Structure 1
Amino acid sequence: MNKITGYQLFAITFIFQIGTTIIFGFGGQAGKDAWIGVLLSSFLGVFVVLVYTVLMRLNPGLTLVQWFPAQFGRWIGTPIAFLYPLLFIYIAGRITADIRDMVSTTLLFNTPLIIICGVFVFIIAYCVYGGITRVSRLGEMFLPIVLLLFSIEVILLISSNVMHYHNLLPVLENGWAPVWKTVYPPGITQSYGESIILAMFWTETKEPNKVMKITILTTIMSGIMVTIFDLMAVLVFGDMFSGFLYPLYTLLSLISIGKFIENLQMFGVLYLLMTALLKGVIEMFAAVRGIQQLTNMKSYRALVIPSCAAALILGMTMSKNIAEHIYRHHFEILVPYVWVPLFLILPTILLIVTLLRRQLAK
């Protein structure tokens, strides 16, 4: 079986952690102090990811869904482990809904939503069916494009003279409270807590001893990139930053150099399509591989079509509009009641139990 190289692991981790965050913005609740929230979330996110990589080292050769049965026993650990593949399918459905909403409002206005979602999920199914090699090569291909687009965007925004440093001032005008609301729980769980899914891939790397180093480095770099994006958005919009649903898309519309280089919003759509596609593929691949490992199936491929069909149905029906999708389902329900237990509480308990068992074994 083909193994993931260090560069491929870096690529899929980097793009996964950026995900749709760079399109929807990060820390809008903090207003013009959003960039401080990103920095704090990234700093704490490194420790969250460190917990996951320590668990990997304490459970050598085992994936995320195998950690729990190994430490809690089959009867307790297996039901807990099953929660993760189910969550991954649900998140794939959320990503499909993200594509549905943005593409239909910015690019394909009159195209039926089922066509937009159907094509997106079909591509996910095709990539997942191709196995770990296709998933890793997708990240390998997308990374330089994402970095190139980001670099061009920064250069063009600086050249357009639309950024003003006074929009940052006064720093922490409303104190730390709004910043901490963006840091915990959404800031830590989004991107960083979600990175627990990569534990489904770490056993497939060529050099497992480098996984911790690569993952921590990537977490720092993705945090820097999102911080730069938020900083640029605040320098341009000031307090209005929190009012935009797609701040990157709006930001790109302001680029104007000599009335020649203008209307670059399609960069924003490209960002979303690439990062959302790779994230959706990772979520779906981890889901079907997780179910395969928990049920001892010979192959995960039989699960691809029903799992993708479930994600398509979820993407089409989970919300009536963008506001309900993001603010009601994500911030009010998913983050506090699902992500915090599965991304923070359970891994912490698992780490404590694993360390205690190792001590008792000695």
Structure 2
Amino acid sequence: MERISKKQLFIMIMYFQIGTTIIFGFSAQSGRNAWLGVLVSVGLGLLAIGIYLALMKLLPGLTLMEWYPAVLGKWFGVPISWLYPLMFLYVSGRVLADLRDLIPTTILPSTPPYFFLGVFMCFIAYALYHGLESFGRLCEIMFPIIIGSFVVVVILLIGSDIIRLKHLFPIMEQGFGEVWTSVWPAGVTQTFGETIVFAMFWPMVKQQGQISKTVVMATLSSSLLILIVDLLCITTLGEGMFAASIYPMYTVIRLISIAEFIEHLDAIAVLYFINTAFFKVAIYMLAAMYGIQRLLLMTNRRMLPIPFAAAVLFMGLTMSDSIQEHIFGVHMNILSPYFWVPLYIVAPALLVIVALIRRWYSALLSRR
């Protein structure tokens, strides 16, 4: 079995939770109160993650695909388990569609999307072919570069003297309702509920006793980074532009100007976004690959990367006609409430209840 360290798990979770969240701005529909939406989403998101960690302890050594058959039996559990790898592949296509809309809008307006997305998926297929252990090492190597780049951007923004703290006030002028609309369901399910994907990898972690602590610390770390991004966007752009901008962080980085020498860093920003999207897609597809391998009882997973990459590429190129439809028409109105809430929150919560009842009933029978 392939193995990863707790450090690699920590880094993978951070990459995954940051993902494309920093491209679009977390809770941007809350305007200047988006940072409050981040804090509330983190709190509720940790409760959801706590459910996954509880299932890990109730069903030790089992992956996400094995939880449902173990508790509900083969006939009920296996069909539910199949929903997860299919969902992971679909969401991989959605992340690819994010790049399909981002890159032509920013740095490559004349390049056909199928070209750069095709190259992107070739790298993904290569990562899938080599498996989780090699991918974990790649994450570890790239981590200082990704975090270091973010720190440099923050320093340059401060040096550009474009941050205005007055844009944060007044706080919750229209009440908590405007914050809550960005928290539920999208704020909790996006980023935090999606962390259920790592239930596929937890049995492969070397330090089993450190998994819960690692997951929580990684979530808090990525949440801090997302919070900083939102605060930078709000204090730089102001509420109106932040809420209206499709790519607020990209817009902010374009404003960096120090001594009329350090400026026009938008291309670097897009490359940063491509990197975080790469890790998110690869993690989703790795989970889908290992999940389908287990469900089909396959001995060789290396026949899966190419057809998976082709399917995700096709979905990324065809699943929506515009960025507005992609985000608001599908993600906000359909995907989050009707797919992510049932699969990422309701089903795991019910599974915990059933698993606890079965454990209690088994203990009761053993006493007789």
Cα distance in 1 for partners of 2:15, 2:70 equals 30
Partner of 1:334: 335
| DSSP-derived class of the 1:306 partner | helix
Q: Which amino acid aligns with 2:288?
A: A
Partners of 1:128 and 1:134 within 8 A in 2: no
5 Å-filtered alignment, 1:313-324, equals 313-324=314-325
Deviates more, 1:124-133 or 1:294-303: 294-303
Deviation at 1:44, TM superposition (A): 1.5
Question: In structure 2, what is the equivalent of residue 33 of structure 1?
Answer: 33
Q: Distance in 2 between matches of 1:267 and 1:72?
A: 49
Alignment partner, residue 120 of structure 1: 120
Moved over 2 A (4+): none
1:62-96 CA-partner distances (Å, limit 9, x unpaired): 10010000000000000000000000110111111
Q: How does 1:73-222 map to 2 (within 5 A)?
A: 73-222=73-222
Deviation (angstroms), 1:256? 0.8
Runs of 5+ in structure 2 lacking a partner?
A: 364-368
Counterpart CA distance in 2 for 1:120 and 1:327 is: 25
Distance 1:292 1:205 in 2: 19
Match of 1:356 in 2: 357
Q: Deviations over 1:141-191 (max 9, x none)?
A: 222122111111111111111011111111111211110011110010011
Deviation at 1:264, TM superposition (A): 1.3
Distance of 2:316 and 2:169 partners within structure 1: 40
Q: Which amino acid aligns with 1:177?
A: G
Superposed CA offset, 1:44-71 (max 9, x none): 1111111111111111111001000000
Give the structure-2-normalised TM-score. 0.97
Identity %: 46
Aligned counterparts, 1:185-334, within 5 A = 185-239=185-239, 240-334=241-335
Question: For residue 161 of structure 1, what is the amino acid of its counterpart?
Answer: D
Q: For the residues of structure 1 that align with 2:304 and 2:355, how far apart are their CA atoms?
A: 31
Counterpart amino acid of residue 343 in structure 1: Y
Query: Within 2, Cα distance between the matches of 1:190 and 1:96?
Result: 16
Amino acid at match of 2:163: M
**Is the CA contact 1:23–1:268 (under 8 Å) kept in the aligned structure 2?**
no
Q: In structure 2, how many angstroms separate the alpha carbons of the residues matched to 1:174 and 1:139?
A: 42
- 1:321 aligned partner, one-letter code: S
- The SS at the match of 1:301 is coil
CA offset digits 1:108-144 (Å, max 9, x no partner): 1111111111111111111001011222122212221
SS at match of 1:302: coil
Match of 2:4 in 1: 4
Gaps of 5+ in 1: none
Alpha-carbon distance in 2 for matches of 1:63, 1:35: 34
**C-alpha deviation, 1:303, in angstroms:** 2.0
Normalised by the size of structure 1, how large is the TM-score?
Answer: 0.98
Query: Mean alpha-carbon deviation: is it higher for 156-165 or for 131-140?
Result: 131-140
Query: Secondary structure in 2 aligned to 1:111?
Result: coil
Which letter does structure 1 place at the counterpart of 2:266? Q
**After superposition, what is the alpha-carbon deviation per residue over 1:3-38, rounded to whole angstroms, capped at 9, x for unaligned?**
101110111011101110011101111111001000
Q: Deviations over 1:261-300 (max 9, x none)?
A: 1111123212211111011111111111101101111122
- Secondary structure at the residue paired with 1:297? coil
Whether the 8 Å contact between 1:164 and 1:236 is mirrored in structure 2 is yes
* AA of the residue aligned to 2:273: L
In the alignment, which residue of structure 2 is the partner of 1:42? 42
Amino acid at match of 1:97: A
Give me the whole-angstrom Cα distance separating, in 1, the residues matched to 2:258 and 2:112.
35
Which secondary structure state, in structure 1, belongs to the residue aligned with residue 172 of structure 2? coil
| Partner Cα separation in structure 2 for residue 198 and residue 255 of structure 1 | 36
Which residue does 2:366 correspond to in 1? none
CA distance in 2, matches of 1:177, 1:93: 32
Aligned length: 362
Specify the code of the residue in structure 2 equivalent to 1:116: F
Computed over aligned residues only, the root mean square deviation of the Cα atoms, in angstroms, reads: 1.0
Q: How far apart, CA to CA, are the structure 2 residues paired with 1:337 and 1:226? A: 25
Give the SS at the match of 1:354.
helix
Answer with 264-273 or 229-238: which moved more. 264-273
Alignment-derived partner of residue 67 in structure 2: 67
The offset of 1:308, in angstroms, is: 1.5
Equivalent-residue separation in structure 1 for 2:134 and 2:103 (angstroms): 25
